[in-house]
Copies of this chain bind each other. A is one copy, B any other.
Amino acid sequence: MSRLDRSLISGLAPFQGLSAVDLDRMVGQARSLRIAKGEAVFEQEGEAHSFFLLLDGHVRVVKTTPDGQQVIVRYISPGELMGIAHALGRTTYPASAIAAVDCVVLAWPGRLWPEFAAAFPDFGVNTYRTVGSRLQDAHTRVVEMSTEQVDRRVAHALLKLVSQTGRRTDEGVLIDFPISRQDIAEMTGTTLHTVSRLLTAWEEQGLVKSGRQKVTVTEPHQLLMLAEGRTSKT
């Protein structure tokens, strides 16, 4: 870890409130890893040996059912922690984390968690804050799956991706990593066919532009209308 890296890291959410010295002590104990696109940072059911900070890239967190169906739990963006099973008293990872593009991560041995939490209280608080919001997200998603229909769920998913990882282009806001119809389907509990149909429909209405593994939202506001619209139907 170069000193340069550390200065970049100091601004990240998990480390808010930590002194430079403490940050140094933490980062000094991490290994930095490169994970090639498609490779796993950690795997479902695997023993939770480490916890991670994503420095660069995008990671897909995926749960696979016994019969092989996959569900995308969330996408991790740079600056976020992942694999924090240790903080929650678990000994195995509940899902797999797959690099959506080439990634750089910091990895700490899981056994350091208790030390860190004790020595750097702010780090603990920050971590549990993100756990809290992920728990919220999960519940929100359950509610959404129970009450909303497919088109709205897909619209929501796109908007969330856009706000999380969107990059402005002259055509609109582009989701900044390769994402297939199948991926979107696995985020929203539908099939790639349905996603494809929705995207072509929305493209005709000028709300999005999409191509192979790529989606650009051109009219976020209109898409939001569609996602939340109080309108019954039309």
Contact = CB atoms under 8 A, between A and B. Distances in A.
Interface string A129-153: 1011111101101110111000000
A181 to B, nearest CB: 16
A189 interface: yes
A90 to B, nearest CB: 5
A139 B63 contact: yes
Given A128-B87, A136-B94, A230 B143 contact: no
Q: How large is the interface on A (under 10, 10 to 19, 20 to 34, 35 or more residues)?
A: 20 to 34
B143 A142 contact: no
A141 B143 contact: no
24 contacts: A65-B147, A67-B230, A69-B146, A71-B142, A71-B143, A71-B146, A73-B142, A85-B132, A88-B131, A89-B128, A89-B132, A90-B136, A94-B136, A95-B139, A128-B128, A131-B131, A131-B135, A134-B135, A135-B138, A138-B139, A138-B141, A142-B142, A142-B145, A146-B186
